[in-house]
Structure 1
Amino acid sequence: MIYLLLSILSSSVIFVIFKLFAKFKINTLQAIIFNYFIACSVGFLGFIKETDITQIPGKDWFPGTLILGILFILVFYLAAITTQRSGLSVVSVATKMSVAIPILFGIFYFQESTGVLKIVGIIFALAAVYLTSLKRRDGIAIRKRNLIYPILVFLGSGIIDTLIKFLEASYVSKTEVALFSSTIFAIAGVIGIGVLIVQSIQGKATISLKNILGGIALGIPNYFSIYFLVMALRGGKFDSSTIFTINNVAIVLVSTLLGILIFKERLIPKNWIGIALAIISILLVANSVI
């Protein structure tokens, strides 16, 4: 349970850092790329001992980390396009609602338990995610020609969580969690550097110190958000559909409360309903396995 709480806390800190990016006008793409290298370094320097990195490509889980590294960059790019064309609320809903994919994967592929409390809790969790993400009273409006982008963000985000669960359960040993997490970030970072090089050649990227500092601030909690999530998934007390439900809706809940406390954000009535549903969903899903 402690790993799940730490994963929620780490992911919620990421939310605060992203909000500060806008305040200090930090280039999000550059900060995210640098963050991957910081996250990778945290793992290698703090949790990995006497590892021959030349043996990493031979690991059974390595092909999966290649896919994850590519998806990390691709989903961010699609999220940026979605934000530009449909707004931040649409991205928020698409990303957070994607939790339905790993939940269904856990239930059908791993034959995880279901019950009335759990099913109702999951439904409430999805409703909570949607309602807390709304920033306008009239809901979300998406033009037909832009619909493909949030759909791809939804699928990409869901596949990332699902693939992490699959690799963790099938190939990653207990002693390789840190190495597995660091490798994902290293691959994403290398791909990101390639993107920056192309942008620099085109004259579209100017690297600055504040973007690097933003990457450092983001990289530390980002590493732990993945590391602690993997550790929570292999904890044994909760199955993955329960972990993903509680993790996702708790991040939404904590992030919303942090937005109120730190950034003085104002919520509309739908947001408050979402918060109430989030609390109820956590209680229902948690009690369904007790």
Structure 2
Amino acid sequence: MLNLALSVLCSSLIFVIFKMFDVFKVQTLYAIITNYVVACMVGMLLYDGNIDFKEIASKSWFLGAMALGVFFILVFNLMARASQVAGVSVASVATKMSLVMPVIFGVIFYRETLSIFQIIGILLALVAVYLASMKEKSIGLSKKTLLLPLLVFLGSGIIDICMKYFQENHLDAKEVAIFSSMVFGFAALTGFVFIGIKAVKQPLKTNFKNIMGGIVLGVPNYFSIFFLIRALQNEGFDSAAIFTLNNVAIVMLSTLLGILIFKEKLSLKNWGGIALAIVSIMLVALF
């Protein structure tokens, strides 16, 4: 449970840091790419072994880490675009509701069993995430804006499923650090290719705030993935329970941090979502 709690804490800090980007006028794209470089370096420093790239490239998970790195950047850009077109609330709900995909995956492909209380808890968690993410204005989607949130939903769910797959079939405990490092490394390389193409039309300017923002973001970003994979290796909980607890707890903690740090105000629906989240966590964890 400690690994899960640390993953939740790191993931929640990411939302706080993104909020701070607005305050200090940090350009998100460049900070994100810097953050991936930092996260990759943190993983290499933590790896308990010799870093032999030829040996790493021969690992069964290497190509998967490469694909995941590219996918990280793509999903991030989809989230940004969805926020612009459909609204932040819609993008947030689409991201967090994706927890249903790894839950179903674990039950179908790994024959994980859930008690009736856990099933009720997971269903309540979906409602809780939706209510906690809603703003005062109702969420409305036209046919034109429906595709982006759907792609965010699918992309976030696929990332979680891949994490579960590699943890289950390809990773041992000692390789978690270097696997996470490689995922972030390939995400950084993809980002550099992207801004390199962009630089052909518009020359890039080094900005100290963007670099510092990326450094601050990179450390919790790395550990959010590192501790999540470690939590998935805990045989005391099924992956369905882990993903449910992780996503719902992130919603709760990030919401509370928003209230405490940024004085954000919550609607009755938001408070209802937090209350349901607490109930769902108790049902999933205790039964």
Q: TM-score range by the shorter chain?
A: over 0.9
Q: Which residue of 2 aligns with 1:155?
A: 154
Tell me if structure 1 keeps the 8 A contact 2:47–2:174.
no
Measured in 2, the distance between the counterparts of 1:255 and 1:33 equals: 23
Return the offset for 1:168: 0.7
Q: Secondary structure at the match of 1:59?
A: coil
Return the offset for 1:206: 3.5
Q: Which residue of 1 aligns with 2:125?
A: 125
How is 1:184-223 mapped onto 2 (pairs within 5 angstroms)? 184-203=183-202, 205-223=204-222
Does 79-88 or 42-51 show the bigger shift? Answer: 42-51
Return the offset for 1:46: 2.7
How is 1:91-170 mapped onto 2 (pairs within 5 angstroms)? 91-136=91-136, 138-170=137-169
State TM-score, norm by structure 1. Answer: 0.97
Question: What is the aligned-residue RMSD (CA, Å)?
Answer: 1.0
Residues 135-185 of structure 1: CA distance to partner in whole angstroms, max 9, x if unpaired? Answer: 12x421112111100000000000001001001100011211101110000
Residues 230-275 of structure 1: CA distance to partner in whole angstroms, max 9, x if unpaired? Answer: 0000021111000000000000000000000000000011000000
1:266 paired with 2:261, answer: no
Q: Which residue of 2 aligns with 1:179?
A: 178
Measured in 2, the distance between the counterparts of 1:104 and 1:60 equals: 25
Unaligned runs of 5+ in 2: none
Measured in 2, the distance between the counterparts of 1:284 and 1:204 equals: 54
State TM-score, norm by structure 2. Answer: 0.98
Q: For 2:149, give the aligned amino acid.
A: P
Q: Which residue of 2 aligns with 1:282?
A: 281
Return the offset for 1:204: 7.0
Return the offset for 1:111: 0.7
Measured in 2, the distance between the counterparts of 1:191 and 1:35 equals: 13
Residues 65-93 of structure 1: CA distance to partner in whole angstroms, max 9, x if unpaired? Answer: 12211110000111111111111001100
1:57 paired with 2:52, answer: no
Does 223-232 or 49-58 show the bigger shift? Answer: 49-58
Does 66-75 or 43-52 show the bigger shift? Answer: 43-52
Q: Which residue of 2 aligns with 1:26?
A: 26
Return the offset for 1:278: 0.4
Return the offset for 1:205: 4.7
Tell me if structure 1 keeps the 8 A contact 2:48–2:174.
no
Q: For 1:280, give the aligned amino acid.
A: V
Tell me if structure 1 keeps the 8 A contact 2:37–2:184.
yes
Unaligned runs of 5+ in 1: none
Return the offset for 1:60: 0.4
Q: Secondary structure at the match of 2:234?
A: coil
Q: Which residue of 1 aligns with 2:10?
A: 10
Q: How many residue pairs were aligned? A: 287
Tell me if structure 2 keeps the 8 A contact 1:82–1:149.
yes
Measured in 2, the distance between the counterparts of 1:256 and 1:204 equals: 38
